[in-house]
Chains A and B, each alone.
Chain A
């Protein structure tokens, strides 16, 4: 709001407390009129308003009000009010967009947090690996059991094998299942094991640790022999 706009608009609105006495208000209006303002006043529930127009400067208003508890608002152009409304609306829109982004950023991770990951702990020592139908015959799934990586292989429609997916040679690298060749392959030194955990290709020498599996309620469970 530039100063030139203020002085170009000779209109002022003086807001007074609602409990101002009616004759007090009338006296103010008369005093304003005596000083050359065109004035009108009214009392309401929330406040009393004294509308003024005149060529007088803003400073003269303070003299008129004489330290009374009052707010003084300038009357501005329509263009100005339109711009103010636009600014307020765009700020509200910005805040709303930000709030939505934050809400989304919180709710989406929350949803994925609540989605049970595979390998949910069913009871201590038993891990539910997945649904029976989730794996095809010859496929394997990687999961964890008591902090160790485990490969669960479906060798037959109701036959499952679970082995510790740690290579028995040197570095204990994590094994990967090659479904085409039905082998557990170690990426470090080229060791290979078959679906039973026996060594299929050197340099490994010891077979893989086997874990007990059982099918229950359409799910595959792994129980520890660890």
Chain B
């Protein structure tokens, strides 16, 4: 009886939270930040669908991408949504940072949010870039080559970093494998964690502002 009452209480609280007024400020769905969150969800879903058919091997990669585009039903749609979603996500993240900069909210209490946002942008760029490599067609290989030589040029940290990204001395299967893991596992989870931190941060900011009123 106690447990049921507690459960009912939680549901009641959730309902209460859903029906609570959101304040007269700018509504949440009108900000670039929520656009980015929505896009992240869409990209995650479309990426998961694409990974059903994607083969992360040297010969299979391009063939599987072509397979998805031509033979899988709605495959062209899923891939198209995935590609265009990344462009929109990067644009939205940059726009959000610009808006925060112009409104001056990055200072003082908002500094943590700015830092998290900047870090998220960097990781999102990393996801987008590794994603470009995944089809492993001629252009992807060229891109990998170019990026790795650029990274190797950074003093001190460059060469070992480039080596770790390349997975060896030559661009090859190891590079693709690392790009694939980074793109589908490591970087998305990092972004997800940062996003949770950011949401918690924003909630804390809002509570603080309400208390100050």
Contacts and interface: CB of A to CB of B under 8 A. Distances in A.
Q: Is there a contact between chains A and B in the complex with CB atoms less than 8 Å apart? A: yes
Interface of A: 109-110, 112-115, 117, 119-121, 123-125, 144, 146-147
B70 to A, nearest CB: 7
Nearest to B78: A113
Given A109-B73, A119-B71, A124 B63 contact: yes
Given A109-B73, A119-B71, A124 B60 contact: yes
A86 B78 CA distance: 41
Contacts, number: 39
Interface-central residue, A110, A112, A117, A119, by most chain B CB under 10 Å:
A117
Secondary structure call for the B interface: helix
15 contacts: A109-B73, A109-B77, A112-B73, A112-B74, A113-B49, A113-B72, A115-B73, A119-B67, A119-B71, A121-B60, A124-B55, A124-B60, A124-B63, A144-B70, A147-B66
Given A121-B60, A124-B63, 11 more contacts: A109-B73, A110-B49, A110-B74, A113-B49, A113-B74, A119-B71, A120-B67, A121-B63, A124-B57, A144-B70, A146-B63
B52 interface: yes
Contacts of A110: 49, 74
A114 B68 CA distance: 11
A114 B50 CA distance: 10
B59 A124 contact: yes
A117 B73 contact: yes
